Chain A
Amino acid sequence: MSLYEIAVLGGMFAVTFGVRYLLIGFSSRIRLSPAFERALAFVPPAVLTAIIIPSVLMPDGSRFDLSLANAYIPAALAALGAHLVMRRLIVTIVFGMAVFFLWKMYF
C-alpha cells in the first residue's frame, strides 16, 4: 500500500466513522439545535438525488446522453414507477436492473 493510499483510507475512515459515531457516542453531552436537526433531514434525499441524476443522464461522466441507447434512463424510470406502485425495495432494485439489462440487449 502506498503512502497516498494510506492517507486516503485513514482520512476516509476518520470522517465516515466520525459522522456516524459523533451523536451516538456522545449522546449524553451533545444537543443539536432544532434548526440544524431540521436541515439534516434534507441531507439524505438531496445527496442521493445529486448522485443519481448525473449517473443517469451523463453515464460517461461528462456529456448528456439522452438517446435511446442510454439504458440508465428507462431503468431509473422503471425503478421509480415500481417503487411508487409496490413500495418494496427489493422489487424496485430487481425490476430496475432487469429493465436496464433487457434494454441494453435490444437497443
Chain B
Amino acid sequence: MFTADDSEWSPDTGRIDWADEMDRISPEGKPSKSTLPDSQNHIDEGKGIRTEISYRYNAKNQKEKITRTYKIEKTAVPKGIALRREWTKFGEAVHDKDGVDMATTKESEEICFRLTTNKDELELGIPKELSGLIDKIKDIAKNESKTEIPTQPTEQSKALPGTYTLPHTRPGYNPGVGGGGYNLDDPQPAVKISNLSLDTTEQDVKELLIAFGRLNRLHMPKDRRNRDSHKGVAFATFQRREIGERVIQKLNGHAYDHLILKVEWSKSQRPRN
C-alpha cells in the first residue's frame, strides 16, 4: 500500500555537494516549470495498481521522468471504523495540508527495539552474545599495548618538506588497536578503507568499489555512541584477490569528499586458531 518504486531515475541524481549547489544557480535563473508535462495518474483496477508519473528537472537541467507505482490493498474493517474513515478534518486541522501534514506528524529517528531478560543488554544496549566477549577484548587490548612495535621509517616519510603526507605515512604513526578482524591468509582477504568522511554512506562506498569488480561483502562499522553515524572505516571483500590489489593501487591516496582515502589490506587483529 505504501511502497513506492522509483523506476526511472537518471543516474545523476544523488548527493548534492555544496559546491554543486553554487553551480546550479545559473545566470538565467531556474528553468520554468511550465515547460514540464503535467503529471499523470493511472489506476489499473484489475491489477490493483496505481501508477503516478511526474516530471521534473534535475541539477543538470535535464528532464526527469519519475514513475511511482502503488499497490492498492483493500482490507475489511469494522463498520464503526469504516464510518469514521469518512470524517473530514475539523477545528484547527482544517488548515493542515491534505492527508498527513508534515508539520503535525513526523517519523522519528530509528529506535532500537529488543526484548530480553539480560540486564546488560537492557542497560548498555549490547547484544547478549557479545556481553561476555567485552572482557576478552579488553584483555587482548591490554596485552597488545604491552608489546611495543618498533616504528620503521618508510619510503613515503622521506617526502619533501612542505608537501602533504598522509597521516599513516608519517613517521611515528601508530595504527593502534581495533578495526581489522580479517585474516590475510584468507582466500578472500578484506580491504580496509579508512579516512572516509562521515557523510559517506554505505551506498556511496559500494558505488565506488563496484567499478573495480564483483563485491562479496561490504561492512561499515557503526559508531557505538551515535547509531546513525559510522566510524569512517569500511571493510570490503572481493571475489578475487586481484580486484583488491587493483583497488588498493588505484584508491590509496585518492581524494574523496574532501578527505584522502587510505586503502590497505586489512590486518587480522586476533590470532586464528
* A and B form one complex: no
Binding site for B on A (CB under 8 A): none
